[in-house]
Amino acid sequence: MSDEKIYSNLQQIALKDEVYVDDNGMLGTQYPLGSYQFPVLTLAQARVISAERNIVSIRLRGSHNIDAAMERYNFKGYAHLDITDLVSFNGQDVDGSSFMDLVLTGAQGGTGYIYARDCVLINATSLRGVFNHTKLVTAIGLATGGVADNVDFVECYSLMGGITVTVNSPDLVNFYGWRGSMTLQTMGGGTVNIWAADGAVITIAASCVGGTINIYGDCRVINNSGGAVVNNYATNHDFQEQPDTAVNITAIAGGETDVFDLNVANTRYIVRNLRLKCADPGANTVTVRLRELVNDVSTIVNTFDITAANFAGYHSLMDMFGVPYLAGDDLQVTVQASGGGPFAVTGQYAHATAT
């Protein structure tokens, strides 16, 4: 082995297979510059040293703008000790690169993916790739659209308050185990899946006009969608109590009259304390019908007859249908007379809604 090769190998060992860059570093590329004791000042210097010594890992301290394409590098920080030390993508192609323990900002360049772990994202945009155990601050933006624009956020959460995500129209976005407050905005297409949300608050803005959003886990969903399809499968629906509603209707023979028909899109209902009383129907019968969704179709699931024998009482949900309350996305109760009439039906009910 030549003396030059031995010297190069010794340099690589001394550098611990990393080039050190510090915004208070030194100019130049000659060894020992780029070592832990003598970090260089710029990424341009780091690229020269990397090429000469066949090193792809770069250790960063301080604030830096990526000033040229840097594909398939390993960028490492110091556990983002100072959140003002920002590394900006600066629109440069960083396809295939990984980022660890860094505060990242700016527009991600290139058309491929990156991997980030234990980072902080502040106002970072055009994101593609996998972000693992990463904290999101203020606002981020995803890639502008296309079948290759996929993003996975794994065990991530918002830092210092809520986060706004400009979705655009990526092919597929997955949030696994999301925690914190997040607003999805400006979505024109594609699919967003929020899996196993953990105590989160998810708001869908009116600027989400296309695509599909699927939400699972323990979270509250505030759905102001302007056209995006929102499938809310969350287990923690935050129900809002509504004022009690009086019932003053008539049962006729010509058709059904609604006691209530609750079926606003993306809204879930709980109905309690329903009481109904009918005037004496004489020889006729007033039938109370309950409809709920069965296989996504509104279906009669139970009925109760009010007759001359029982009309004097105020009938409860338990009396009529054998349940203490109703819950679902589409609930309807109607009355209809078998003949004669009309017969006055009075009562009251309470309900709560969740979106």
pLDDT tens digits along 234-287: 876 567 788 999 999 999 998 999 999 999 887 888 898 899 999 999 999 999
Digit-coded pLDDT (tens) for 202-219: 999 999 999 999 998 888
Q: Quick check: 48 and 65 in contact, CB under 8 A?
A: no
Min mean pLDDT across 114-123, 212-221, 341-350 is at: 212-221
- 275 DSSP β-pair partners: 316, 348
Mean pLDDT of the chain: 89
Residue 70 pLDDT exceeds 60: yes
**Residue 67: count of CB within 10 angstroms of its CB:** 13
Please name the CATH architecture into which domain 240-354 falls.
Answer: Sandwich (2.60)
The pLDDT of 320-333, averaged and rounded, is 90
Helices and strands (H, E) in the chain, number of each type: 3, 31
Instruction: Quote the pLDDT of residue 28.
Output: 87
Predicted confidence band at 7 (pLDDT cuts at 50, 70, 90)? very low
Closest CA to 256 of 335, 342, 339: 335
List, in sequence order, the alpha helices (H) in the chain.
3-14, 43-53, 317-321
Q: Please tell me which residue, 266 or 148, carries the higher pLDDT value.
A: 266
* Percent of the chain's residues with pLDDT above 90: 64
Report the chain's terminal Cα–Cα distance, integer Å. 71
Q: Quick check: 253 and 339 in contact, CB under 8 A?
A: yes
The pLDDT of 179-198, averaged and rounded, is 92
Closest CA to 222 of 261, 183, 192: 183
Residue 19 pLDDT exceeds 70: yes
Digit-coded pLDDT (tens) for 73-105: 999 998 666 667 899 999 999 999 999 999 999
Q: Quick check: 61 and 85 in contact, CB under 8 A?
A: yes
Min mean pLDDT across 123-132, 266-275, 288-297, 327-336 is at: 266-275
- 232 DSSP β-pair partners: 215
SS3 content of the chain, % helix, strand, coil (to 5): 10, 55, 40
Range(s) for CATH 2.60.120 in the chain? 240-354
DSSP code, position 316: E
Residue 146 pLDDT exceeds 70: no
| Burial state string for 191-204 with b = 16 or more CB within 10 A and e = fewer than 16 | bbbbeebeebbbbb
